[in-house]
Amino acid sequence: MKSVNILSICGSGTVTSSMVAAKLKDRLSEHGYQVSATEAKPTEALNLAQSKRFDIIAHTSPLPKGDYRIPCANAFACITGMGEDKFFEDFLKALQSIGK
């Protein structure tokens, strides 16, 4: 099983980011991933991303400008359900692009 650490970002750092993290855990487990997720607010994202503890960011709120040094994926489709399959496909490709 492959391990991946996801930083899940939403406006408050709680509700939506938890929902996105849960969906990612479910979908990625189908592809052999063991997922660890941390939820946070956009204002915390840059410092957390640069800590080198995370492989990828899934966000539903805009991220402040900066060098996150890891892939960032807009996860808004997880809220609406529209384009969700495409989001998961792109998310898997992003993980593969970093060797995960």
* Residue from 47, 48, 54, 42 nearest 17 by CA: 42
- Between the CA of residue 9 and those of 24, 31, 67, 98, 99, what are the distances in Å? 13, 23, 16, 20, 22
Question: pLDDT tens across 49-92, in order?
Answer: 999 999 999 999 999 999 999 999 999 999 999 999 999 999 99
Structural contact between residues 57 and 71, judged by C-beta atoms closer than 8 angstroms? yes
Question: pLDDT tens across 24-39, in order?
Answer: 999 999 999 999 999 9
pTM reported for the whole predicted model: 0.95
Bridge partners for 8 per DSSP: 39, 58
DSSP letter, residue 62: P
